[in-house]
Chain A
């Protein structure tokens, strides 16, 4: 008998689409409605694939051997207690309830605590701490934004429903969807391609093929001045998002800071005495600024192209400064495109628990914050930590090789639902439930709105929620520490007795 769950929240990216419909038969999801391709891959196929971890493992003589949950928890707690400075990393594909227990564990261990934010929007968080951020919820943007700028991000790939649910292709209360116009443009392009192909085929006998042209930024189209929603994409490469935009500006790699600087000058009505910035003619930048200033409500979304290229958090800082300048002339907001579904939650939970969003250290008994010192890659690079716990993340596939090589020098505990790269490298490997599929909880959308994830199927027998695993490790750590303290006290008493 099929059961249909409505308003299911997608536990994959920061969009947290909450309009999904899951059909469940015999405790298995068999169909998803309204989801994107990535959602379909995870919710219908991936979560129950052969890659699933079904029991805990401990590495013995180089091989992973299945063990009981109690044995794995004892081993993990022993490794963490024996370590002088363990690193607890990940947390962003977990629910906030787990993140909360994670902070407690890090504090108890006196270790370092970091989340995936440090390799995605950590620089954005730092820039926001420097300068603040004029932002808005996705709901406000959906209803009001008439100019959308995607900078150094490709939502079509990383947040596939962002354009459809929150920006250009959604019907808001005050702004309408541009989807029909896009389809018309697409049809016109297809016709043009047919004409071009016909001309090429007739000419090919007489003309040798021309070498491909280098990327040239095209002039802004007239549609930038139209009423209704408009979309501009800035990126170093053309993407599918760029294909659907009104205007695509292909910038040279590592020149974002200069372009923002030029745009700020133009927003503030200053003249530039150069012709091009980052490969973009200043004349075109002027037209872009005109479109920005003439917008009623503009929204800039930026991605990892800014945080990971030269300039890092300074790129974000100047982007926010430009948004602040634009707000003297019209209404403009800016927001990061957060990746993992609860990376915003990790920042939020860590911040309300400790005062700081990531890059935390508890070695002094109180929380300290210093990106560049307590961030996972810096700790690994310097070889500071002597044990690692990775939960709901895959640094094995997303950290530079040298960081993982350093991580491998010490024991590694992993808590993940599937055999991703880091689970394959673990010394103690825990299976866990899929958050948002087998485990309910809270996650924060990319605009910091908390959303409740649903449980729609039962987890395989014996597989615990990650919150429970972390809590049980924490209890065991406290037990071991209490026993150790007791032994120390007894030892001291014996020494005293002998002296007397």
Chain B
């Protein structure tokens, strides 16, 4: 049965493709393709009625962002989604540091839902929308 929303734990981190793309340039197509994404378990992709590369909206208590859904390539990712470090993941992270300087980058609950009609913003569009520059 196709579900409307998924409540999962967000994990952020490095991927080799993100590493290569950031060195090619933050404004490069490679960076956009490899960082504005959310990796889901194949079972979760089925549950949401998605296909690889379709847009999803990831919402946390701190913000909401539209990115491309991708199947997680290694093993199972049950109860979790994974987003590469970068502007898109940070749009939904919290600046709460537990008083030690480290913001909350991972390990909190997010909702993932299909967003076929909403666009994935490019780096410049996102900077304009979030910071007005």
Which A positions have Cβ atoms within 8 angstroms of B?
Answer: 12, 37-38, 40-42, 45-46, 49-51, 62, 114, 118-119, 122-123, 126, 154, 156-158, 160, 211-215, 236-240, 242-243, 250, 253-254, 304-305, 307-310, 312-313, 358-359, 371-372, 375-378, 380-381, 394, 396-405, 408, 418-421, 424-425
Query: Of A38, A240, A304, A372, which contacts B20 at CB under 8 A?
Result: A38
Q: Is the CB of A419 within 8 A of B103?
A: no
* Ranked 5 nearest A-B pairs via Cβ: A375-B101, A238-B75, A51-B25, A372-B99, A42-B23
Of all chain B residues, which has the CB nearest A254? B107
Q: Is the CB of B102 within 8 A of A123?
A: yes
A-B pairs with beta carbons under 8 Å apart, 11 shown: A50-B25, A123-B102, A154-B13, A214-B79, A237-B72, A308-B102, A375-B97, A377-B102, A381-B95, A400-B104, A404-B131
The residues of A that contact B130 with a CB separation of less than 8 Å are: 401, 404-405
Number of interface residues of B (CB under 8 A): 60
The residues of A that contact B92 with a CB separation of less than 8 Å are: 401
Q: Is the CB of B24 within 8 A of A304?
A: no
* B76 to A: closest C-beta gap in Å: 5
User: Can you add 17 more A-B contacts, CB < 8 Å, to A242-B74, A398-B85, A400-B93?
Assistant: A37-B19, A38-B23, A42-B23, A126-B100, A212-B76, A214-B78, A237-B72, A237-B82, A238-B77, A250-B75, A375-B101, A378-B97, A380-B95, A397-B90, A398-B90, A419-B26, A421-B26
Query: Of B28, B63, B133, which contacts A401 at CB under 8 A?
Result: B63
Question: Most B CB atoms within 10 A — which of A154, A237, A310, A371?
Answer: A237
Query: Of A242, A376, A377, which contacts B75 at CB under 8 A?
Result: A242
Q: Is the CB of A46 within 8 A of B24?
A: yes
Report how far A86 CA is from B94 CA in the complex, Å. Answer: 23
Say if the beta carbon of B106 comes within 8 Å of chain A: yes
Q: Is the CB of A420 within 8 A of B26?
A: yes
| Proximity bits, B87-130, A CB within 8 Å = 1, else 0 | 10011111111111111111100000000000000011001001
Query: Of B26, B79, B100, which contacts A372 at CB under 8 A?
Result: B100
Q: Is the CB of B74 within 8 A of A119?
A: no
Query: Of B21, B42, B107, which contacts A309 at CB under 8 A?
Result: B107
* A493 to B: closest C-beta gap in Å: 45
Q: Is the CB of B107 within 8 A of A253?
A: yes
Report how far A359 CA is from B43 CA in the complex, Å. Answer: 43
Are A312 and B102 also in contact (CB < 8 A) when A12-B23, A46-B25 are?
yes
Q: Is the CB of A425 within 8 A of B75?
A: no
Of all chain B residues, which has the CB nearest A160? B16
List residues 8-30 of chain B with CB under 8 A from any CB of chain A: 9, 11-16, 18-28
The residues of A that contact B85 with a CB separation of less than 8 Å are: 397-398
* B16 to A: closest C-beta gap in Å: 4
Q: Is the CB of B24 within 8 A of A236?
A: no
Query: Of B16, B43, B99, which contacts A211 at CB under 8 A?
Result: B43
Query: Of B26, B80, B93, B101, which contacts A122 at CB under 8 A?
Result: B101
